[in-house]
Structure 1
Amino acid sequence: MSKVRPKAALLSLATSVPPHIFLQKDIRDAAWEVFGSRFPDYERFASIFANTGIIKRHGVKPFDWYLTQRGWPERTAAFFEGAEALFIDAATRALAEAGLKAADVDTVVTVCSTGIATPSLDARVARRMGFRSDVSRVPVFGLGCAGGASGLSIASRLAQARPGSNVLMVTIELCTLALRLDELSKANIIATSLFGDGAAAIVLRAGDGGETLVEAVGEHLWPDTLDVMGWSIDPLGFGVILRRTVPEFVISELKPALTQILTRMDRTIADYDRFICHPGGAKVIDAIEAALSLHQGTLEHERAVIADYGNMSAPTVLFILERNLATGLPQRSLLTALGPGFTASCVSLRRAA
């Protein structure tokens, strides 16, 4: 008879943001100056800035840096500098909270979709962090906004496969570096109104410690949805792809997909006391509440995080998880995020006792 492996437990979670703070009203005014005279339809889209629910955001560069057109070399240099600093800060905080040092880490999972690094970010910071030479590195690219949930899923399975080992998962996104001054499109205006920078780190171990267990994980990939969300790539950098209305997609497609995922976990939506959801924006939060038949206002932490940080892509749902942990998780919670693919990623969490 095969031995049942212990579930992975969350030992710690830490978040980090870069030092530059941008007020949404200042971004709105700057966007009008940059796009207004060149984009005939801009006035029709300008109200987007007021409807996001965002008050402020963080960026790795000062405000004026973004008002000059940048190419790949400048964006990449900014990515290396900003991403490495955030990796070190978030990871160091998470390890300290878990009572560990970098040398205690056996596996590092690094999730990022807003910059290209070879060697990967974990290798670039390894010496400064103090990782062992035999640490296992798992860099993950392309998950976008789903990366926080999918990265936690990957890290939890690696921890469960080697009980007693320490797995560090770090997700970093520098969405502001994809700001494009040349793209006169609704998708680019939406991106300009939403995205900020941030990072989160989690330490997991299976077999001992941790009050919150990763009970099960699952994903759903919708066919023929490559145009919902993603990056285009050209000589100047990344350009956002948003060719379908995400709130409408959520209302029609989210609940059936979650039902399929949970059926494979032998669970139902009714089994969960709380939902912890990646908030694409205020309208997406409203759509999630409608799709899951939640009372309006239920996703209060989601609204608070989007107000304080904007949409940071992958790390955002872990900022929300951090607030839920601080106020206390119920017996069972479902962490969910949607991202390019188009994909729904789910992590079922439950209290250890």
Structure 2
Amino acid sequence: MNDKAALVSLATSVPPHLFHQKQILEAASKLMADRYPQFETMSSLFANTGIRHRYGVKPMEWYLERRGWPERTRAFLEGAEALFVDVARKALARADLSAGDIDTVVTVCSTGIATPTLEARVAGQLGFRSDVSRVPVFGLGCAGGVSGLSIASRLAQARPGTNVLLVALELCTLAVRHDELTKANVVAASLFGDGAAAAILRAGDGGATRIEAAGEKQWPDTLDIMGWSVDPEGFGVIFQRTIPDFVRDNIGPAVAEILSRMELSANDIDRFVCHPGGTKVILALERALSLEQGTLDHEREVIADYGNMSSPTVLFVLERARAHGLPSRSLLTALGPGFTASCVALRHAA
């Protein structure tokens, strides 16, 4: 019997409203150009992200009005609950399970506040058992998909034979702000979309793809790189340093260190599956990981089709990689607030 957690199923979902990048640029220009002189210079960001279109939980008109915490929270609860139910049902169907078969639910989300948390709010609609274990995780940001997979795998491994449902869900667009005219807000408007991914893991029986190992690295004195501020009108995005430069200079040694703790090296990795923060981040990752330019092809496709959805994005990339056939060993990587690199090694048996 293998005690490593296996990836039983994986599914993704997006909300109903599709926005083309040109459409978003026009809306952002209407809101910011007259009040923020730097916007015209920065507007090239929208064309340079590699994004064609993204999805939002609300129609475009909603984002054009100023919103406060109550409206943002109502929109979050309504949209997140619907998306949670949709992506969980997809993952359950692909695993040939019902919600009543789930023993543990890990919910990863950093873009809204819900108490009771999302898995409790949808428990009746989905049909979770009354004794299901709930593990809500907040604050991991873009690293949440990889860290969440690590957490879910350890929970599955601790109780072989039980089913662990991981849902990574983010509604990044609800943090759009036009009361604060800053470079960080323009960057956020050019990048972020909404989406969700769900995976079911189980240890103790057969499975083609197993979570082999996991590891993280946090850098000291880097709390200002990425995160949220809590403002009267809602979350405020924090981007205080150039992330592509940090990736280029730091990720190679960090991944090598994490792999060493796994008793692996870069030569053991057949495929990197990375969180694509944007085109410049992808280029920086390829350079930092000594990959040929263009190697991270699924990453470019996902960012083009969905934008940066924060935590679930890397699982969208994994879904595409699985559809094309995983090699023997893959390494999932993502970066998030902290500033932290999170890695999970997957072992696949053809």
Tell me which of 162, 171, 185 is aligned to 1:188: 185
Q: Distance in 2 between matches of 1:230 and 1:270?
A: 33
- Residue 264 of structure 2 corresponds to residue 267 of structure 1: yes
**1:247-266 to 2 correspondences below 5 Å:** 247-266=244-263
Q: Distance in 1 between matches of 2:19 and 2:37?
A: 26
Tell me what 2:288 maps to: 291
Query: Does residue 46 of the first structure (1) align with residue 43 of the second (2)?
Result: yes
1:149 Cα deviation from its structure 2 partner? 0.2
Whether 1:168 and 2:165 are equivalent positions in the alignment is: yes
Indicate if the aligned counterparts of 1:5 and 1:163 stay in contact, CA closer than 8 A: no
Q: Deviations over 1:26-69 (max 9, x none)?
A: 10111111110100211121100000000000000001100000
- Find the residue that maps to 2:139 and give its secondary structure: coil
Matched, 1:105 2:94: no
Q: Tell me if the contact between 2:156 and 2:202 (Cα under 8 Å) persists in the aligned partners.
A: yes
Determine the structure 1 residue equivalent to 2:7: 10
Q: What amino acid does structure 1 have at the position aligned with 2:131?
A: D
Cα distance in 2 for partners of 1:303, 1:157 equals 30
2:339 maps to 1:339: no
How far did residue 5 of structure 1 move?
Answer: 6.4
Distance across 2 between alignment mates of 1:269 and 1:92: 36
Q: Which runs of 5+ in 1 are unaligned?
A: none
Partner of 1:84: 81
> How many residue pairs were aligned?
350
Deviations 1:154-210 (A, max 9, x none): 000000011100000001000000000111110000000000000000000001132
Is the contact between residue 332 and residue 350 of structure 1 (CA under 8 Å) also seen in structure 2? Answer: yes
* Partner SS, residue 296 of structure 1: coil
**Equivalent position of 2:67 in the other structure:** 70
Aligned partner of residue 118 in structure 1, secondary structure = coil
Contact 1:12 1:203 in 2 (8 A): yes
What's the offset of the Cα at 1:266?
Answer: 0.3
CA contact (8 A) 2:2 2:206 kept: no
**Mapped partners of 2:100, 2:141: distance in 1:** 29
Cα drift, residue 352 of structure 1: 3.5
TM-score (norm: length of structure 2): 0.99
* Percent of residue pairs bearing the same amino acid type: 71
Which string of whole-angstrom CA distances, capped at 9 and with x for unpartnered residues, describes residues 76-132 of structure 1? 000000000010000010011001000000000000000000000010000001000
Provide the residue aligned with 1:202 in structure 2: 199
For the Cα contact (< 8 Å) 1:112–1:173, is it kept in 2? yes
Q: Is 1:133 aligned to 2:130, yes or no?
A: yes
Pairing partner for 1:316 from 305, 313, 317: 313
Structure 2 residues without counterparts, runs of 5 or longer: none
Contact 1:18 1:197 in 2 (8 A): yes
Whether the 8 Å CA contact 1:282–1:303 is kept in 2: the answer is yes
Q: In structure 1, what is the equivalent of residue 210 of structure 2?
A: 213
- Report the residue type matching 1:83 in the other structure: A
CA distance in 1, matches of 2:280, 2:37: 25
Match of 1:226? 223
Alpha-carbon separation, structure 2, partners of 1:27 and 1:267: 43
Q: State the SS of the aligned residue for 2:122.
A: helix
1:310 and 1:52 mapped to 2: Cα distance? 8
Structure 1: 4+ residue segments shifted above 2 A: none
Residue 146 in structure 1 maps to residue 138 in structure 2: no
Q: Which moved more, 1:37-46 or 1:222-231?
A: 37-46
* Contact kept in structure 1, 2:109 and 2:141, CA below 8 Å: yes
Q: Which amino acid aligns with 1:177?
A: L
Q: Structure 2: how far apart are the matches of 1:177 and 1:142?
A: 16
Partner AA of 1:75 in structure 2: R
